[in-house]
Amino acid sequence: MLSPELAHADAESAVLRPDVRERGLHRALQLASILTAFGLVAVFAVALWAQNGLTPVEGIVGLHSHMFAQGQGLYHPLNQYPYTVAAYGPIYYSLCAMLDRLGVPIYLAARGISILALLGALWFCWRILRRLVPGDAAARATGLLLAASTANLLYWGTVGQVDMLAVCCSLAAFSTFLDWRAGNGSIWLAAIFVVLAVFTKQTAIASGAAIGLTLLREDRRTAFRWIPAVAFAGGSIAAVLQIATHGAYLDSAIFANLNPFASTKLLDQGQYFLLTAGGLLLTFLCGVPSLARRAGPLVLYTGLSIIVWLLTAPKIGSDLNYQLEMTLLLAIAAGVGLGQMGFFPAVIANRRTPITLLQIPIVLHIALNLTLTARTAAERAVFESVKTAEIESLRPYLRPDDSRVLGGSYDATLQLRGRIEVETLIYSLLVEAGRIDPGPVQRDLEAGRFDTVILPFDVSAPQKPEWLTAELASLPQTQLDAVRTHYRLVKHLDGAFLNGNYIYEPIRN
C-alpha cells in the first residue's frame, strides 16, 4: 500500500498527464457548449413568445412590412405622406410581407426569419472553420463556441430586423468562395450571396469586397469577370427598383440614411465592444501573423468589417447591431488563429508560453457573454407585461379607423393601427438636413387636422428634458410650438420608455 506522500505525488502526476488534460479540455468545451445551447434556446423561446416589440426599430420594420403586404408600397417619396423611410433593401421586408399575407403575425414572421438566419450564420461559421483549420477539432469547436455564445449575436439575432439575414448571406458568400478556392463550389453562387446580402442591408459590403480583392491578388482572370458581373447585377437591380418606385428607392435606402455623426456613438459602442468582445480582438491580434500566411482572405474580410463598423457606428440611429458581422468574424478568426498557433497542443502539453495565456480571455468571453444572454432573456420576459400594459393604455388613442395620429410608440402603432403617417426620428433628421419640406405637417398641426398627437414629454414644460437627444427627437421645434399652441394635453400615460406618453388633442373653438 502506498504511503500518503506517494499517493499524493502519484495523483499530482496524473493531473499533469497529457491524456488527463486533454479529457479535461474536452469536458470544459462540452460544458460550455451545453450552457451556450441553453442560452440559445432561452432567447429563441422568449423571442417567439413575446407579443410586443423587443427593440424600437422592430416596430418600424414591422410597419413597413405590414404596409407593404397591404398594398401601400414600401419606398415612399420623401416629400409626401407617409413620412417614413424603409431604410434597407427589399429582401427582408418582402419575406416578412409574404408571411404576413399568409396570416403569420408580423413579429413572429420577422423574428422567425432572423432566428433561421442566425442558425444559418452559425452553420457557415462552422463551414469556414472546417475549411481553414481542418486538422484541429478543438479549434473549430472553440471558434464556433465563441461565436454562438456572443451576447450581442443572441440579442440582435433574435429580433425582427434585417441585420442577421444580411450577415448570414455575407458569411454564405465567403464560405462558398473558400470552397471554390479549394477546388469545390461555385464562384457564381458566392456572387449571388453577395448581391442578396447587399440588397438586405446596404452596408453588407465587406464580404464582397474581400472576395473581389482576393481574386485580384490570386486570380485576375476570374476577378475581371466576377467583379464586373456582381457590379452589373447590383446596378441593374437598383435601377429596376428605382424605376419601379419612381425614384423613391435610392432616396430611402441611400440618401435618407446619411444621418449626422456623433462621436459619442462610436465611444459608447467601442466601450461595449471592448467589454464583450475584447477577448476575441486580443486573440485575433495574437494570431494575425499565422492567419496572414495561411488564411489571408479571412484577415482581409475581418479587417474590412472593422472598417465598415468604424464608418457607420458613429451615425445617429446606429446601435450595437452594427457590430454583428465584425464580432462573428473575430470569433471565427480567433478559432482559426488558435488552431494555427498550436494553442491546444500547447495547453495539453502544459507548455508555459504566452500563447497558453489566451485561455484567460477565452474563458472570460464565454462566461461574461452567457451571463449577459441570461440577463437579456430575463429582462425581455419581465418587460413583456409592462409593454402590454402600455399598449392597452394607448388603445383608445390609436384606433384602427380614419383618425389621424402623429407620434407614439412604433410598437403600439403597428399593433393597434397597422400604419404610420410620420416616423418622427427620420422625419426630424431629414427636415434638419433640408431633404423634407416641413410645410405640410406644419400646416396640418396648425389647422388641428391630427386627431391625436403623442409625444414623449410635455411641450408646455419650460425646458426640454435632459434625455431628449437627437436620437429621441420627436418633431422639429416649430412643430412642437404648433402643438403647444393648437393642442391641449388630455392625458399622461405611464410607459416602458422614459417618461411615458403625453396625449394631445386639438383645441376646438
Q: What is the pLDDT of residues 459-481, one digit of tens each?
A: 887 666 665 665 565 788 899 99
User: With bands split at pLDDT 50, 70 and 90, how would you rate the model's confidence at 6?
Assistant: very low
Q: Answer yes or no: is pLDDT of 186 > 60.
A: yes
User: With bands split at pLDDT 50, 70 and 90, how would you rate the model's confidence at 260?
Assistant: confident
Enter the C-alpha cell of residue 470. Answer: 437627437
Per residue in 90-137, pLDDT tens? 999 999 999 999 999 999 999 999 999 999 999 999 999 999 999 889
Per residue in 10-20, pLDDT tens? 444 444 577 77
Q: What pLDDT, on the 0 to 100 scale, is given for residue 498?
A: 67
Mean pLDDT rounded to a whole number for the chain: 90
SS3 at position 317: coil
8 Å CB contact between 412 and 501: no
8 Å CB contact between 207 and 301: yes
Per residue in 293-313, pLDDT tens? 889 999 999 999 999 999 998
What is the average per-residue pLDDT within 380-385?
93
What is the average per-residue pLDDT within 425-448?
91
Element (H, E) at 200: none
Q: What pLDDT, on the 0 to 100 scale, is given for residue 1?
A: 43
Q: What pLDDT, on the 0 to 100 scale, is given for residue 484?
A: 93
pTM: 0.92
8 Å CB contact between 323 and 273: yes
Q: Answer yes or no: is pLDDT of 328 > 60.
A: yes
User: With bands split at pLDDT 50, 70 and 90, how would you rate the model's confidence at 277?
Assistant: very high
User: With bands split at pLDDT 50, 70 and 90, how would you rate the model's confidence at 2?
Assistant: very low
What is the average per-residue pLDDT within 346-367?
88
Per residue in 401-424, pLDDT tens? 889 999 888 999 999 999 999 998
8 Å CB contact between 96 and 80: no
Which residues neighbour 12 within 8 Å (Cβ) at sequence distance 6 or greater? none
Q: What pLDDT, on the 0 to 100 scale, is given for residue 155?
A: 95
Q: Answer yes or no: is pLDDT of 8 > 50.
A: no
In the numeric block, the cell 438586405 is attached to 200
Q: What pLDDT, on the 0 to 100 scale, is given for residue 463?
A: 67
Q: What pLDDT, on the 0 to 100 scale, is given for residue 68?
A: 95
User: With bands split at pLDDT 50, 70 and 90, how would you rate the model's confidence at 318?
Assistant: confident
Q: Percent of the chain beyond pLDDT 70?
A: 94
Q: What pLDDT, on the 0 to 100 scale, is given for residue 466?
A: 61
Report the alpha-carbon distance of residue 240 to residue 233 in Å, rounded.
11
Q: What pLDDT, on the 0 to 100 scale, is given for residue 471?
A: 59
User: For 259, phi and psi rounded to 5 degrees?
Assistant: -70, 155
